[in-house]
């Protein structure tokens, strides 16, 4: 496919993904996703260039951009190597963006002076440090690393480059020579059988670090554990508002230690609600340009894995002075919103504050109050506020839905492990009243803060979600029609409400979750951007991330912008922000995607490990995907396994692309997307995260008991 893409772009100056899709006569969601993947790889390899503004691909050789490797000088400036016979290109520190030493970059010439050509970096296309993780093996007398990425071939390790590693160790490898499969071991993760090493392997693969560098740890010495009266008085004098007399509290999971957000509520005399969303003022402690800040930016986000959290900030900050802990004074950023009975925000105020959370509540306890009318001990004095909040939450959710907010069925799993990190239970996460209440309040605050910058025409960072791809949505609608789902109303999705209407009509069918998953795959990815195009999935015209600065770097950027515009509203600050936000937004989007991939891969591996304990057991499931080689079946707890076409012994099955079905040539029996089937677990392998099922016929159920893990 890559050769075909290049051929089409040789014939045309530039093309959108849909133009390439149509020229290659691709017609399925799977083919489109393969095209998308190939385009991403060609861009990453520096063969194609993607223009964010025009949303078009073109051959790099046909663009004004040039590819090269950056060599940074300790003084901040750098040079780009572009070839043996060409002079290195000088890059001023202000034109380097977020590139680092050794990165493969795209740049544009600022001048082509023969003695000293100068350029500006436009994009990083490949990071210098791309960790390769694998297992040390021995073949004969020689040592190799067998990469976890099975697409990569084995790497020979000279004995003097083992650096203490032995057979069975999981390690990080650095190639010694470009293009040669020879390397040295730069870090030993642990033995493959050690507890938690299986997860750490993914951590290193996605370039996250389980610990903080020493220079970051050293900076923590200057950060206090508690607020002093002197510090509080000083901040109050410069305009920080004291809200410690207000009833403010937090609601989180029972095991949460990094608490970003707290809430408050009041019923006003005019009948409106005064909702307060109070967010940890991380920017007060994490100063731009500090080592802590540089590390937080590198990480971009916290990563949540089954048995651990890789925090964006060290625990002294994330669980300590920044966390809105019960009965402790904390600096915060508050967003107070006056909201009427229809859910409209009629007034708002965003300001630095000092708060004291009265109670660390848990979702489980709050749900007992809101759903079961049971009041856990210690919650008595907060019941009235919680009930008032729940009433407002429902008003806000109703308004969100009326504008097009799309409620997708979640397929997120909750995986419990024992002390040896072995999975002991897996179940689907369910959003209940308490979780929905916090989500609704955070969305309201995020929109309010984003709008406060956008409508002043100031540079900002936004959480954006583009419209779904028409072709992929068309395939989804075609699938619904071919499978007998009768959808009334518009058959073209032009707004969030159109898609919302379609999904609403398939709410009460058993296969709703896999259909929602199919619709999600037709969606664009939500990303960070300096250009506001709205958030399609939320039905929001203006949205950003403000409410989680402990675990998301874009929120920290937004906090700093608000401070800049409140205290230093100068043309220089505005211009500086305008230049740097685009680069930072792209970096944060990339790190978020890598964190999600890491979390997904760990979940898949643990699900396979879990099913290794359940071989031979029988379950009910829904067909969640169909291919020529077989079909995937998803169980109620989100575990997914493959039924291989070769294991369907009763007939020879042929794949029908339009119906997304395997159809028996002799019997005409169908296995289609969305069908309910009964399967037996016949294989599971945590090494490649695979689970194999086979179909169980009705007659076999007489001697077997159907169950759900």
The full DSSP string for 14-40 is -B-HHHHHHHTT--SHHHHHHHHHHHH
The β-bridge partners of 428 are 413
pLDDT at 493 over 70: yes
Query: What is the spatial distance between Cα 232 and Cα 706, in angstroms, rounded to a whole number?
Result: 62
Tell me how far CA of residue 337 lies from CA of 150, 441, 678, in angstroms: 52, 10, 51
Mean of all residue pLDDT scores within the chain: 89
pTM of the model: 0.81
The β-bridge partners of 49 are 58
The two tokens of residue 540 are: 């929001």
151: Cβ contacts below 8 Å, ≥ 6 apart: none
**DSSP at 706:** B
More confident residue, 407 or 689: 689
What value does the mean pLDDT take over residues 662-675? 92
CB distance 708 to 636 below 8 Å: yes
The β-bridge partners of 347 are 338
For 638, the 3-state DSSP assignment is coil
Q: Which band of pLDDT confidence, cut at 50, 70 and 90, is reported for residue 299?
A: very high
Which long-range contacts link 393-397 to residues 24+ away (Cβ below 8 Å)? 393/433, 393/436, 393/437, 393/440, 393/441, 395/339, 395/341, 395/342, 395/343, 396/339, 396/343, 396/440, 396/441, 396/443, 396/444, 397/436, 397/440
Q: Per-residue b/e over 580-589, b at no fewer than 16 CB within 10 Å?
A: bbbbbbbbbb
Query: What is the spatial distance between Cα 259 and Cα 319, in angstroms, rounded to a whole number?
Result: 7
CB distance 530 to 463 below 8 Å: no
Instruction: Taking the CA atoms of 551, 283, 540 and 341 in sequence, report the sign of the dihedral they define.
Output: positive
Percentage of residues of the chain with pLDDT beyond 90: 60
Distance of CA 446 to the CA centre of its chain: 17
CATH 3.40.50.1100 for domain 64-126:
no
Look at strands 308-310 and 303-305 and give their pairing: antiparallel
CB distance 476 to 518 below 8 Å: yes
Query: What is the spatial distance between Cα 184 and Cα 149, in angstroms, rounded to a whole number?
Result: 17
Query: What is the spatial distance between Cα 396 and Cα 181, in angstroms, rounded to a whole number?
Result: 57
Residues of the chain with CATH 2.40.50.700: 132-194
Q: For 250, list phi and psi in degrees, rounded to 5.
A: -120, 150
Percentage of residues of the chain with pLDDT beyond 70: 94
Total residues belonging to the chain: 709
Q: Which band of pLDDT confidence, cut at 50, 70 and 90, is reported for residue 700?
A: low
Instruction: Taking the CA atoms of 399, 400, 401 and 404 in sequence, report the sign of the dihedral they define.
Output: positive
Residues of the chain with CATH 1.10.10.10: 2-61
Query: What is the spatial distance between Cα 564 and Cα 215, in angstroms, rounded to a whole number?
Result: 27
Query: What is the spatial distance between Cα 269 and Cα 82, in angstroms, rounded to a whole number?
Result: 69
- Least confident piece of the model among 196-205, 292-301, 518-527, 694-703: 694-703
The two tokens of residue 138 are: 């021995």
Provide the CATH topology of domain 612-702. OB fold (Dihydrolipoamide Acetyltransferase, E2P) (2.40.50)
Q: Is 668 left (phi over 0), alpha (psi -120 to 50) or beta?
A: left
What value does the mean pLDDT take over residues 624-630? 89
Report the pLDDT value the prediction gives residue 128, as an integer from 0 to 100.
Answer: 66
Q: Which CATH code for domain 2-61?
A: 1.10.10.10
pLDDT at 298 over 70: yes
Residues of the chain with CATH 2.40.50.140: 64-126, 612-702
Of 181, 131, 191, which is closest to residue 157 (Cα–Cα)? 181
CA dihedral 527, 533, 538, 541 (to 10 degrees): 150
Report the pLDDT value the prediction gives residue 546, as an integer from 0 to 100.
Answer: 97
- Least confident piece of the model among 17-26, 190-199, 629-638: 17-26
The β-bridge partners of 90 are 79, 118
The two tokens of residue 36 are: 């998308």
Q: Which CATH number fits domain 132-194: 2.40.50.700, 3.90.870.10, 1.10.645.10, 3.30.9.10?
A: 2.40.50.700
Report the pLDDT value the prediction gives residue 179, as an integer from 0 to 100.
Answer: 46
Give 76: exposed, middle or buried? Use CB within 10 Å, 0-12, 13-18, 19+: exposed
């Amino acid at each position: 496919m890559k050769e075909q893409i290049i051929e089409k772009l040789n014939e045309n100056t530039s093309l959108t993904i849909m133009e390439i899709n149509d020229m290659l006569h691709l017609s399925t969601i799977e083919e489109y996703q393969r095209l998308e993947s190939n385009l991403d790889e060609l861009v990453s390899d520096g063969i194609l260039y993607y223009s964010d503004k025009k949303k078009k691909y073109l051959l790099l050789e046909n663009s004004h951009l040039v590819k090269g490797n950056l060599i940074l000088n300790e003084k901040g400036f750098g040079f780009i190597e572009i070839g043996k016979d060409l002079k290195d290109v000088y890059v001023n520190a202000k034109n380097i963006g977020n590139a680092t030493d050794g990165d493969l970059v795209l740049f544009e010439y600022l001048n082509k002076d023969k003695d000293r050509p100068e350029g500006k970096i436009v994009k990083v296309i490949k990071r210098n440090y791309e960790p390769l993780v694998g297992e040390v093996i021995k073949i004969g007398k020689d040592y190799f690393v067998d990469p976890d990425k099975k697409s990569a071939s084995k790497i020979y390790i000279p004995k003097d480059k083992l650096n203490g590693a032995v057979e069975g160790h999981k390690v990080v490898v650095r190639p010694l020579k470009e293009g040669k499969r020879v390397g040295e071991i730069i870090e030993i993760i642990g033995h493959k059988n050690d507890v938690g090493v299986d997860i750490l392997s993914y951590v290193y693969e996605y370039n996250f670090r389980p610990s903080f560098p020493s220079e970051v740890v050293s900076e923590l010495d200057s950060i206090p554990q508690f607020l002093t009266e002197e510090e509080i008085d000083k901040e109050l004098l410069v305009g920080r508002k004291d809200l410690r007399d207000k009833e403010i509290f937090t609601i989180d999971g029972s095991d949460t230690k990094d608490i970003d957000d707290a809430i408050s509520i009041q019923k006003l005399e005019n009948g409106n609600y005064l909702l307060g969303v109070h967010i940890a003022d991380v920017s007060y402690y994490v100063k731009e340009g500090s080592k802590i800040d540089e590390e937080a930016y590198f990480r971009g986000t916290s990563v949540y894995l089954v048995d651990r959290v890789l925090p964006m900030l060290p625990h002294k900050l994330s669980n300590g002075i920044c966390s809105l802990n019960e009965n402790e004074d904390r600096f915060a950023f508050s967003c107070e919103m006056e909201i009427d009975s229809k859910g409209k925000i009629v007034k708002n105020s965003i300001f630095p504050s000092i708060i004291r959370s009265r109670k660390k509540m848990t979702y489980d306890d709050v749900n007992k109050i809101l759903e079961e009318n049971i009041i856990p001990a210690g919650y008595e004095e907060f019941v009235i506020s919680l009930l008032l909040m729940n009433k407002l939450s429902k008003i806000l959710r109703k308004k969100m839905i009326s504008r097009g907010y799309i409620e997708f069925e979640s397929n997120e799993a909750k995986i419990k492990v024992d002390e040896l990190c072995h999975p002991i239970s897996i179940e689907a996460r369910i959003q209940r009243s308490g979780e929905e209440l916090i989500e609704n309040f955070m969305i309201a605050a995020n929109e309010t803060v984003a709008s406060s910058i956008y409508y002043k025409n100031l540079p900002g960072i936004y959480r954006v979600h583009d419209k779904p791809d028409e072709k992929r949505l068309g395939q989804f609608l075609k699938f619904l029609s071919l499978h007998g789902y009768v959808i009334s109303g518009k058959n073209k999705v032009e707004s969030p409400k159109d898609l919302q209407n379609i999904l609403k009509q398939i709410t009460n069918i058993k296969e709703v979750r896999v259909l929602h998953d199919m619709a999600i795959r037709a969606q664009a990815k939500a990303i960070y951007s300096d250009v506001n195009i709205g958030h399609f999935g939320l039905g929001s015209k203006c949205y950003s991330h403000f409410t989680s600065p402990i675990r998301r770097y874009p929120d920290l950027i937004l906090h700093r912008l608000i401070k800049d515009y409140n205290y230093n509203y100068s043309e220089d600050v505005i211009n500086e922000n305008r230049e740097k936000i685009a680069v930072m937004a792209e970096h944060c989007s990339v790190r978020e995607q890598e964190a999600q991939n890491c979390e997904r891969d760990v979940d898949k591996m643990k699900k396979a490990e879990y099913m290794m304990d359940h071989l031979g057991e029988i379950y009910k499931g829904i067909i969640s995907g169909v291919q020529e080689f077989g079909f995937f079946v998803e169980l109620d707890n989100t575990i997914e396994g493959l039924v291989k076409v070769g294991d369907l012994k009763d007939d020879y099955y042929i794949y029908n692309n339009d119906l997304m079905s395997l159809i028996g040539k002799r019997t005409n029996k169908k296995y289609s997307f969305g069908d309910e089937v009964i399967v037996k677990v016949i294989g599971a392998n945590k090494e490649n995260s695979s689970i194999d099922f086979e179909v169980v016929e009705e007659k076999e159920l007489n001697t077997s008991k159907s169950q759900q893990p």
